[in-house]
Amino acid sequence: MKLDIELDRENGVPLTEQIVTGVAAWIRSRAARPGAKLPSIRQFSADYGVSRFPVIEAYDRLVSLGYLDSRHGSGFYVAERHRNAGDAQVTSDPRRAEEVVEHILQQFNHPGESLKLGSGFIPEAWRDMEGLGHAIRHVSRVDPVSLVDYATQLGNPILREHLQSRLGQLGIEADASQILITNGASQGLDLLMRYMLKAGDTMFVEDPGYYNLYGLLKLHGVKLVGIPRTRTGPDLEVLQAQLRLHRPKLFFINTLFHNPTGTTVAPPVAFRLLQLAREHDFRIIEDDIYADFQTDVSDRLATLDQLEHVIYVGGLSKTLSSSLRIGYVVSSHAIIKDLADIKMLTSIGGSRFAEAVAVAMLERGSYRKYLERLRRRMRDALGTSVQALEASGWEVFETPQGGKFIWARVPHIADSTRLVECGAPLGVTVAPGSYFRPNGEVSPWIRINAAYTSDPRARQFFDAAARLK
């Protein structure tokens, strides 16, 4: 079957984009029934006299966009419930949601039960337990009221001043009244969703990206459109193509040490993203939750934009303590005021005690010293982890320059669910790459936390997975 589309090599539009646009329009025209098989990559290339490379990339994008299903060993088929311009969201599967929640809970289980190789957390042994203990005792002694009282509406003013100073080091100009302390970055995102979106609105997200955000958005009835994450940031070609189809309210981007790929947005991509935000009138939520893992400071989107189209989200939970739950949102005075009101309505206030402990860690210098140790340790772990993976025959998406995540696959394995099954008998827990995709699309990749790869079970898993047939 030859598809009814036209390719024009003279119009300056990349062939990949022409194929994506043409096939998507062909499917939306009802020319093919759901489940119909498309020409193979080889056949498509022969039919249209083009290289296989743009066809491979186009088919992969069409799978990401929900127009095609990829069946390992069989080929590509028109998706049973493809999306069009007015239907950007595939109905979420409650069973998959339950699986994702189970995976989140597994990360909190006692570490002795299994090796949480795909965990999002730093091992307890790497935390500054002594420094935390000193800070907790200090706050209990000098500010006993914090043990029983709420925090102020915006959060501890001294903590916000410290954060203002840290933002200034990144070149982000904001005063303390533009900073809202939240119960972790997750609460900050929830407040933003409540404030800026309503059911039926469209939001762009990264593919792969932060799986917990996808569930939150679907809970709010928001339509998700996935933009592929490349080694230098969001795929600008796909982004521009999607902007011709949709009018997003927001675009969520994990700029630095991206979860799960470990990549960082390159400056040219960052500049173009901001241009598109201005041209198409959407805001960018910049998730910089891994900022404290960085040794050499680089510009953020918020640095370049100065909070005009960018809302900045950060936190201390990924480094200092997951239990203290310190996150923050930085934006204009008007937005922060409204977010603070929603925070009061939904949770009354934050933890005055947790915020005071964070202040004590920052003021006494223990957090700075801890970060220096943590960065060195993570840098060494990333290097040895990448070496171990490649020595076992794995492919690494991109060698991370910091953070804690590595996005990796076994080249001949198309569905990373097989890697999950391989790890279970070895006492190794990982999540399939489909968890990190907006609508649970199959993925060969998995997320690996470099902090856990020194365990012998990790190396056993790498070798066993590479031997899978």
Domain check: are 344 and 374 in the same one? no
Domain check: are 60 and 114 in the same one? no
359 in a structural domain = yes
416 in a structural domain = yes
Helices (H), 49-204: 52-64, 94-106, 129-142, 157-169, 184-196
Would you state the structure tokens that stand for residue 137, as one six-digit string? 């005792």
Q: Phi/psi of residue 270, each to 5°? A: -60, -45
Q: In this structure, are residues 351 and 148 in contact, taking their beta carbons and an 8 Å threshold?
A: no
Helix (H) or strand (E) run with residue 305 in it: helix 301-305
CA–CA gap between residue 411 and residue 109 (Å, rounded): 31
Residue found by looking up tokens 């003013």 in the block: 157
Domain check: are 206 and 160 in the same one? yes
142 in a structural domain = yes
Domain check: are 218 and 275 in the same one? yes
* Per-residue model confidence (pLDDT) at position 108: 47
Q: Residue 167 belongs to what domain range?
A: 129-364
Find the angle CA(462)-CA(214)-CA(160) to the nearest 5 degrees. 100
Would you state the structure tokens that stand for residue 9, as one six-digit string? 């090599």
Helix (H) or strand (E) run with residue 70 in it: strand 68-71
Neighbouring C-beta atoms of residue 427, cutoff 10 Å? 15
Among the three residues 364, 393, 411, which one is the final residue of a domain in this structure? 364
52 in a structural domain = yes
Residue 310 exposed, middle or buried by CB count within 10 Å (0-12, 13-18, 19+): buried
* Per-residue model confidence (pLDDT) at position 310: 98
- The answer, as to whether pTM is greater than 0.85, is no
Domain check: are 387 and 307 in the same one? no
* Per-residue model confidence (pLDDT) at position 7: 87
159 in a structural domain = yes
Positive/negative CA dihedral, 13, 19, 24, 27: positive
CA–CA gap between residue 30 and residue 6 (Å, rounded): 17
88 in a structural domain = no
Number of domains observed in the structure of the chain: 3
* Per-residue model confidence (pLDDT) at position 404: 95
Report the CATH number at residue 26.
1.10.10.10
Q: In this structure, are residues 312 and 172 in contact, taking their beta carbons and an 8 Å threshold?
A: yes
Would you state the structure tokens that stand for residue 282, as one six-digit string? 């959407």
CA–CA gap between residue 289 and residue 274 (Å, rounded): 20
CA–CA gap between residue 47 and residue 30 (Å, rounded): 21
* Per-residue model confidence (pLDDT) at position 83: 45
3 in a structural domain = no
Q: How far is CA 41 from the centre of its chain?
A: 30
Q: In this structure, are residues 454 and 117 in contact, taking their beta carbons and an 8 Å threshold?
A: no
* Per-residue model confidence (pLDDT) at position 87: 40
Cα diameter, the chain: 77
Helix then strand then coil, in percent of the chain rounded to 5, is: 45, 15, 40
Q: In this structure, are residues 324 and 358 in contact, taking their beta carbons and an 8 Å threshold?
A: yes
CA–CA gap between residue 427 and residue 411 (Å, rounded): 23
* Per-residue model confidence (pLDDT) at position 84: 43
Would you state the structure tokens that stand for residue 29, as one six-digit string? 């025209």
Domain check: are 180 and 275 in the same one? yes
Pairing of the two strands 250-254 and 202-207: parallel
Domain check: are 226 and 314 in the same one? yes
* Per-residue model confidence (pLDDT) at position 324: 87
Domain check: are 349 and 243 in the same one? yes
Residue 245 exposed, middle or buried by CB count within 10 Å (0-12, 13-18, 19+): middle
Report the CATH number at residue 437.
3.90.1150.10
Q: In this structure, are residues 464 and 419 in contact, taking their beta carbons and an 8 Å threshold?
A: no
Find the angle CA(453)-CA(457)-CA(459) to the nearest 5 degrees. 60
Residue found by looking up tokens 């004590």 in the block: 360
Q: In this structure, are residues 450 and 406 in contact, taking their beta carbons and an 8 Å threshold?
A: yes
Q: What is the mean pLDDT of each run of 10 residues along the chain (469 residues)?
A: 78 78 81 84 88 83 79 80 42 49 50 81 90 93 88 93 94 96 94 93 95 86 93 96 94 96 96 97 96 90 96 92 91 96 89 93 89 94 97 96 96 94 94 92 95 96 95
Nearest alpha-carbon partner for 224 in 381, 441, 448: 441
Domain check: are 272 and 384 in the same one? no
84 in a structural domain = no
Q: In this structure, are residues 400 and 380 in contact, taking their beta carbons and an 8 Å threshold?
A: no
Domain check: are 236 and 380 in the same one? no
Domain check: are 334 and 198 in the same one? yes
Domain check: are 287 and 156 in the same one? yes
Bond into 400 cis (ω within 30) = no
Using only the alpha carbons of the chain, give its radius of gyration.
23
Report the CATH number at residue 270.
3.40.640.10
Residue found by looking up tokens 């006494």 in the block: 364
